[in-house]
Amino acid sequence: MIENKLENIEKRFLEVEKQLSDHGITSRVDDYKNLSKEHSALQPLIHKYRDYKRLLDEIKGLESLKESSDLEMKLMAQSELEELSRKKALMTDELKVLLLPKDPNEEKNIIIEIRAGTGGEEAALFAGDLFRMYCRYADTRRWKVDIMDSNPTGLGGFKEVVFGLSGEKVWKFLKYERGVHRVQRVPETEASGRIHTSAISVAVLPEAEEVEVGIKPDEIRIDTYRASGAGGQHVNKTESAIRITHIPTGLVVACQDERSQMKNRAKAMKLMLAKLYESRQKAQEDAIISERRNQIGSGDRSEKIRTYNFPQNRITDHRINYTTHRLKEVLEGDLDEMINALIAADQAAQLTDIKE
């Protein structure tokens, strides 16, 4: 029963509160930090559960009035019970959502890699469109954008662009962007007016700390070289660009966007840690994926997740059969409606695993 789970969680919440009230806890910094974090995480669920219990008490009181000999009182109780029953159903669903396992990456910042695939220059142009879309969405949420590496084309697109996003719950809202984004439109470079189909791959990596990855100094090789992209004479004449190779896996990352070698090295290391963290997470997820009844995509960059059809002003997310005819607004960064639909679908899929 869901009530049994909630009772046990409330007991744990009271236990945490008791430990936090201990005068000596503040001297144990790690314990205090962990308990405070757990208390903060449980608080929304406990507040909702206590509201739920008050509602159950109210329903119980009205149930007794149904047997009243006073007809007016009896009708009033029946009417209020119908309303409270609807409220109970809604609150039960809300509690189930709050009971869902928390994504361990939910509070993490992210690194996004956008790479042009099939479609040549048109794919590169749309890679630029997606980059600007995410930057505009970041502006609406007051997130910070930090370009780490880029390979721009002459027409304003990108063969690839790698950038970090930091702020509140960045991973929560953008983790569903992983995969292949397909665009159907008449390219600016097309004289005959034919519609082309191009593809762009997007990877979304949660940032990781060295302690989470456990990388050893002798497992990496760091090379410097001259940046080949834009940046003026200084960038091209000094070896400011950094390439890091993780020897055990052969994974290679590079960063040349900053003029400072030290800054490029820090960004490249951040990207390497994120890639290693993601690969280890993916191995764990693959081991349990068969147990999951439904999921919103695998997060694989080879999976086609969305189509942007310009002639029909239409965007379709194939994972949840979501379609909107607000293509222009979405590319201007108005992603909330689509992202909320993805979050709701993911929660609905997970809720099938929660039994009352």
The pLDDT tens digits of the residues spanning 225-280 come to: 877 654 443 445 567 889 999 999 999 999 988 888 889 999 999 999 999 988 88
Hey, what CATH topology would domain 212-285 get?
Double Stranded RNA Binding Domain (3.30.160)
Contacts of 229 (CB under 8 A, 6+ apart): 150, 151, 152, 235, 256, 257
Q: What confidence category does residue 210 fall into, taking pLDDT thresholds of 50, 70 and 90?
A: confident
CA pair distance 159, 294, nearest whole angstrom: 34
CA pair distance 223, 287, nearest whole angstrom: 35
Is the model's pLDDT at 291 over the cut of 60?
no
| Between residues 355 and 103, the one the model is more confident about | 103
Q: What confidence category does residue 353 fall into, taking pLDDT thresholds of 50, 70 and 90?
A: low
Q: What confidence category does residue 198 fall into, taking pLDDT thresholds of 50, 70 and 90?
A: very high
Among the ranges given (9-18, 39-48, 187-196), the one the predictor scored with the smallest mean pLDDT: 187-196
The CA radius of gyration of the chain, in Å to the nearest whole number, is 26
Residues in the chain: 356
CA pair distance 355, 330, nearest whole angstrom: 37
Contacts of 343 (CB under 8 A, 6+ apart): 172, 173, 176
CA pair distance 341, 96, nearest whole angstrom: 18
158-166 and 144-152 as β-strands: parallel, antiparallel, unpaired?
A: antiparallel
Which pLDDT value is given to residue 213? 82
CB 134 within 8 A of CB 113: no
Which pLDDT value is given to residue 97? 85
| Between residues 56 and 76, the one the model is more confident about | 56
* Amino acid symbol at 241: A
Given 3.30.160, 1.20.58, 1.10.10, 1.10.357, which CATH number is that of 2-99? 1.20.58
Alpha carbons within 13 angstroms on the beta-carbon side of residue 114 total 28
Q: Which two tokens stand for residue 251?
A: 């994974």
Every domain range in the chain assigned CATH 3.30.70.1660: 110-208+294-350
Which pLDDT value is given to residue 101? 82
**Coil/strand/helix, residue 334:** coil
Q: Is domain 110-208+294-350 annotated with CATH 3.30.70.1660?
A: yes
Q: What confidence category does residue 354 fall into, taking pLDDT thresholds of 50, 70 and 90?
A: low
pLDDT digits (tens, 9 = 90+) for 91-143: 988 898 888 888 888 889 999 999 999 888 999 999 999 999 999 999 999 99
pLDDT digits (tens, 9 = 90+) for 19-32: 998 888 888 888 88
H helix runs in 66-163, sequence order = 71-99, 120-140
Beta-sheet strand order (sheet of 251-255): 220-225, 241-246, 251-255
Is the model's pLDDT at 292 over the cut of 60?
no
**Coil/strand/helix, residue 14:** helix
Which pLDDT value is given to residue 203? 94
- For all residues of the chain together, what is the average pLDDT? 86
CB 275 within 8 A of CB 162: no
Every domain range in the chain assigned CATH 3.30.160.20: 212-285
Q: CA-based diameter of the chain, in Å?
A: 95
Is the model's pLDDT at 14 over the cut of 90?
yes
Is the model's pLDDT at 289 over the cut of 70?
no
Query: What percentage of residues in the chain have a pLDDT greater than 70?
Result: 88
179-185 and 220-225 as β-strands: parallel, antiparallel, unpaired?
A: unpaired
Which pLDDT value is given to residue 235? 46
